[in-house]
Every structure is written in structure tokens, then in C-alpha cells.
Structure 1
């Protein structure tokens, strides 16, 4: 079992069925769109996604991402470790992680149906990068970056179904 030193989560109420919400959240490239576009939080970098034949939608499926920041390579590989439609999905890094703000991590979401909407909880458990420089950058920006990523995923889902983000 992997232990993580840090965590964050975002909750939102989404006005749709659990099946529709899971279908939307089950696409790694869709919920990771905030990392595929250049932005201030990404310091102008953007990641390119490579999905295996199962599209990141089965236990054991692999998601690869790579890019560069100021000419320095970024790369991470993740594997789906838990997937129970339409209620939850979790994936985590494996192998060497080349990221600057967060290192090894586990990300997932849980969907809880309610009357007329679903409660979406998106979470991340993470460690800082293993290098001295990475630990320094992680301590300074890791929490803000992790929360930004979760918020982007939550806001994208809320916009898709015209709902609202509830709370961090």
C-alpha cells in the first residue's frame, strides 16, 4: 500500500444521473483537459495524453502523459486501480514520475446519487516530487496546484450538466 503525505478534495452537486456523470468523468482526457491546455497554473506547459486500448476505462488500463516546461521534460504514467460504475473510480501513478509540483499521486472520484442530483467528490492524495528542488516547489505550490486541478475537473463537470461547485 502506498502512503501519501498530502490530500485535497472538492465537492459539487451535479444535476444529472449517476450514470451520466460517471460516463463524463470516466474519460481521462476529458477530465484532464485543464492539463492539455496552456495556462498560468501550468506555467505555459501542456500535457499530451496517450491512452491504451482500453482508453483509461478499465482496471489495469494505463494513461501516459508527457510534455515539457521551459525545455525540461514532464512525464507521468497512471494506472486505473478501482472502477465501479457509476459510483467510483481511482487511478494512481506508477514508475518514475517527472513532475515539478506534485510527485506520486492517487486521484479519484466518488458519485453519490441524491434526489434530483448527484454529489461528486473528487480527491487527490499526493507526495511532493522526490528531488530537493521538487520538494521545495511542492511545499510552495503543491497544495494550490492540487486544489486547482480538482476544481477544474469539478467545474468542467458542473458546466457540462449546468450545476454548481459546492465546497472544497
Structure 2
């Protein structure tokens, strides 16, 4: 995918081993929790995720989300582009996402192990939507939305490990 025109990131300290942090974040349901619940930034709406058999845990695994905000359909299909456990995972949109304020994007997280903790960096590189009115909305709201999204992913992970006390990730199923 060619270079994107905009980017932002959020960095937090997590008092847990990189391997444990990666295992938790490798489950995209944890990363996308902020979009799966109603919030003011989602205008009271929420998105539903769909996963292929790889559940976004393998390079090439496809997944996406869809829903409606104020009755208008929104959706994005994504593919895992890089997955180097326990350090880095990157996914990107495929096709043309149908979103209000951002267009195609590449997101990911990087975990840097320190002596007794890990540094988590959640990042997004994105373009504005190509067509109006979404492009106009993007000019106004894209930066704030991107900061909110990366910030929520990073802070939600840090909060989980504060609450869990750095313990192993519970199994999902």
C-alpha cells in the first residue's frame, strides 16, 4: 500500500511482559472493543466485527467491521499485513472503506520490552476519504478521531493489565 498522508500514535507503559501483552492484543476483539460499544465518539452507535478462520491472528487473515451511524451504513474490510510475535502487528484496509472521516488506513501496534515492563505504541497512518461529503468531514474530524482511536486502544490495554495485575490472558471462546 502506498504511503498515507496523515498519522498519529499513542504510547503507554504496561507492567507486563511483551509476550503477554502481544497475546492479549493479538485478539482483535480486545483492540476493537472501543468500536463494539456505544460511545459519544461513535454518536451512540457501535460496529460489529467479522473474522475469517484466522481470526486476524495470521498474516493474510481478513476481517472487518460494519454498522450504522445515524442510519448511514459504514464498513471497512482489513487484512493482517505483518505479524511478528511478540513485537509487531500491522493491518490495513483492502478495497475502499465506507467511513465518514478517514479513508484507507494502516494500523498496528509495536511492543518494546523493557526490564520489568513493556512500551506499547499503537499507530495509524491514513488518508482522508476521496469523495464529499466524507472528505469535508475528514478535514474537520479525522485527526481527532484517529487520536481517539489509537488512544483508546492503548489506554484500554494498559487498563486491562492494571486490573489483571499483569496476569496471563484469559482464554476466549
TM-score range, shorter chain: over 0.9
Pairwise mapping of residues 60-99 of structure 1 onto structure 2 (< 5 A)?
60-99=60-99
Runs of 4+ aligned residues of structure 1 deviating over 3 Å after TM superposition are: none
Conserved 8 A contact 2:74-2:99: yes
Could you state the TM-score of these two structures normalised by the residue count of structure 1? 0.94
Shift of 1:54: 0.7
* Whole-angstrom CA distance in 2 between matches of 1:157 and 1:71: 30
Could you state the TM-score of these two structures normalised by the residue count of structure 2? 0.92
* Whole-angstrom CA distance in 1 between matches of 2:98 and 2:54: 24
Counterpart secondary structure, 1:149: helix
RMSD: 1.0
Counterpart secondary structure, 1:91: strand
Shift of 1:32: 0.5
Q: Structure 2: give runs of 5+ residues left out of the alignment.
A: 164-173
Corresponding residue for 1:33?
A: 33
Corresponding residue for 1:166?
A: none
Indicate yes or no: 2:142 matched with 1:147.
no
Q: Structure 1: give runs of 5+ residues left out of the alignment.
A: 164-168
Aligned residues: 163
Counterpart secondary structure, 1:162: helix
Conserved 8 A contact 2:96-2:103: no
